[in-house]
């Protein structure tokens, strides 16, 4: 039985910690309100994941050495405490840029630990023949958090201001921290396990494919999480969180009804159409003249991402022993973070130079290039 008490408790803990993370999709509004530019938005949002990328070998090694639950405890503690530190930042962005950058770096480490520990914990308990299903259904909680976080944040910012916004993000993290406490730590490290380094595991041919696909997924997250809200605000579109609700709803539907399909026919056959869907969704943002077009874009993109995430994750951990599974998940999640970081910086400068539409076109073309590489270069054959 997959969906036992431990699975459900971790799902609740993950829901609230990811809701805290999702609330920061609207953090660009805080940056702009304090005099920041599009490039500042890109840098500060990218800094959130830079530390996650750089710390990933240590984070994944910690998860394989000390256990999944203990690692989640550390990560969820950071996700609870760090949002409160934003309360001290007042005035023009230039007055507190460096301290804010440092806070963003530390905050990102907490996210890296939470995501990697939770996905590894869940991966340990899922039968190999139902890997896509178990990961996909669990991922619904993360998607729900990515919708609930910004939806709550938008209402709180509009009615109570940024201080209440940061406090609410901390409370979401606290609920996640409390929810995970009854969990047993199911992982026991085998005393005779042969150690394998993070970089050594990355040298496997399969993981080159995982890295490429995860990088593209990260670029997509940076597009949605960093630039949609200021783009919608610039175009005077109301109810910005409608995009994130549509995105998450579509991804939830594809995971609930499509994960078993991936287990039956193989994740390799799912990846190609998913890349096309994601690219088409970002292309639609060029024509977002109304909130309904914005919502449709979120829905199409969410379908693509709903198939991609569990398929790439399953590809990463399939046939890997438990003693290196944290590192395998670390390669997957770390490559996503690297894509988010690089996408935030590069797309931010593209947006400053050529506008939001050029930014979204670039993101769409990146997914088109990924689809071309998958089909023409035959990357699926090494997976």
Across the range 208-216, mean pLDDT stands at: 86
- Token look-up 């539907």 returns 253
- Work out the pLDDT band at 326, boundaries 50, 70, 90: confident
Q: What six digits make up the tokens of 303?
A: 């379908």
Of the candidates 321, 323, 338, the residue with the CA atom closest to the CA atom of residue 61: 323
C-alpha 42, offset from chain centre: 16
- Token look-up 């993109």 returns 301
The answer to whether 84 and 56 have CB atoms below 8 angstroms apart is no
Radius of gyration over every alpha carbon of the chain, rounded to an integer in angstroms = 19
Query: Whole domain around residue 282: which residue ranges?
Result: 5-182+198-382
Does residue 188 fall inside a structural domain? Answer: no
Does residue 189 fall inside a structural domain? Answer: no
Residues 265-279, buried b or exposed e (16+ Cβ, 10 A)? ebbbebbeebbebbb
Report DSSP state, residue 96: S
Residue 119 burial by CB count (10 A; 0-12/13-18/19+): exposed, middle or buried? buried
Across the range 307-335, mean pLDDT stands at: 84
C-alpha 305, offset from chain centre: 10
The answer to whether 59 and 138 have CB atoms below 8 angstroms apart is no
Q: What CATH number corresponds to the domain at position 149?
A: 1.20.1250.20
Q: Give the lowest-confidence range in 158-162, 226-230, 276-280.
A: 226-230
Does residue 234 fall inside a structural domain? Answer: yes
| 186 vs 276 pLDDT, higher one | 276
Does residue 294 fall inside a structural domain? Answer: yes
Q: Give the lowest-confidence range in 27-31, 50-54, 64-68, 187-191.
A: 187-191
Residue 291 burial by CB count (10 A; 0-12/13-18/19+): exposed, middle or buried? middle
Across the range 115-142, mean pLDDT stands at: 86
- Token look-up 């907490």 returns 110
Q: DSSP letter string over 199-223?
A: HHHHTSHHHHHHHHHHHHHHHHHHI
Of the candidates 334, 310, 331, the residue with the CA atom closest to the CA atom of residue 320: 331
Report the C-alpha gap between 289 and 283 in whole angstroms. 13
Across the range 343-368, mean pLDDT stands at: 87
pTM: 0.78
pLDDT score of 84 more than 80:
yes
- Work out the pLDDT band at 381, boundaries 50, 70, 90: very low
Q: DSSP letter string over 176-206?
A: HHHHHTT--------TTPPP--HHHHHTSHH
Over the stretch 178-191, which tens digit does the pLDDT of each residue have?
A: 999 999 887 766 65
Helix (H) / strand (E) containing 361 = helix 356-376
The answer to whether 339 and 215 have CB atoms below 8 angstroms apart is yes
Report for 126-135, 186-195, 276-285: range of highest mean pLDDT: 276-285
Angle formed at CA 65 by CA 60 and CA 68, multiple of 5 degrees = 65
Tally of domains within the chain: 1
Q: Give the lowest-confidence range in 216-220, 224-228, 349-353, 377-381.
A: 377-381
Q: DSSP letter string over 9-36?
A: HHHHHHHHHHHHHHHGGGHHHHHHHTT-
Residue 9 burial by CB count (10 A; 0-12/13-18/19+): exposed, middle or buried? middle
Largest distance between two CA atoms of the chain: 61
Does residue 187 fall inside a structural domain? Answer: no
């Amino acid at each position: 039985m997959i969906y036992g008490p431990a699975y459900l408790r971790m799902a609740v803990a993950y829901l609230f910690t990811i809701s805290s993370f999702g609330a920061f999709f609207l953090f660009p509004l805080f940056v702009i309100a304090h005099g920041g530019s599009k490039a500042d938005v890109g840098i500060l949002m990218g800094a959130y994941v830079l530390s996650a990328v750089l710390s990933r070998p240590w984070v994944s090694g910690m998860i394989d050495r000390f256990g999944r639950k203990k690692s989640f405890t550390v990560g969820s503690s950071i996700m609870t405490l760090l949002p409160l530190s934003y309360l001290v930042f007042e005035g023009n962005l230039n007055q507190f840029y460096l301290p804010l950058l440092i806070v963003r770096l530390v905050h990102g480490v907490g996210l890296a630990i939470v995501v990697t520990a939770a996905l590894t914990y869940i991966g340990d308990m899922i039968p190999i023949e139902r890997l896509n299903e178990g990961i996909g259904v669990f991922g619904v909680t993360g998607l729900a958090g990515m919708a609930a976080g910004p939806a709550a944040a938008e209402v709180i910012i509009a009615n109570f201001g940024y201080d209440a916004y940061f406090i609410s993000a901390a409370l979401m993290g606290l609920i996640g921290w409390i929810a995970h406490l009854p969990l047993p730590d199911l992982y026991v490290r085998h005393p005779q396990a042969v150690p394998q380094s993070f970089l050594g595991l990355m040298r496997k041919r399969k993981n080159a494919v995982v890295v490429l696909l995860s990088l593209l997924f990260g670029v997509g997250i940076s597009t949605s999480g960093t630039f949609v809200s200021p783009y919608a605000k610039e175009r005077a579109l109301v109810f910005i969180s409608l995009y994130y609700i549509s995105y998450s709803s579509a991804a939830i539907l594809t995971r609930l009804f499509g994960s078993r399909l991936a287990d039956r026919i193989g994740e390799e056959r799912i990846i190609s159409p998913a890349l096309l869907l994601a690219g088409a969704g970002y292309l639609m943002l060029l024509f977002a003249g109304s909130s309904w077009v914005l919502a449709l874009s979120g829905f199409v993109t969410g379908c693509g991402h709903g198939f991609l995430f569990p398929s790439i994750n399953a590809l990463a951990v399939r046939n890997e022993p438990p003693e290196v599974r944290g590192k395998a998940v670390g390669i997957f999640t770390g490559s996503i973070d690297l894509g988010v970081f690089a996408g935030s910086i590069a797309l931010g400068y593209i947006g400053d130079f050529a506008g939001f539409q050029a930014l979204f076109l670039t993101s769409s073309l990146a997914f088109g290039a990924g689809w071309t590489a998958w089909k023409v270069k035959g990357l699926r054959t090494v997976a």
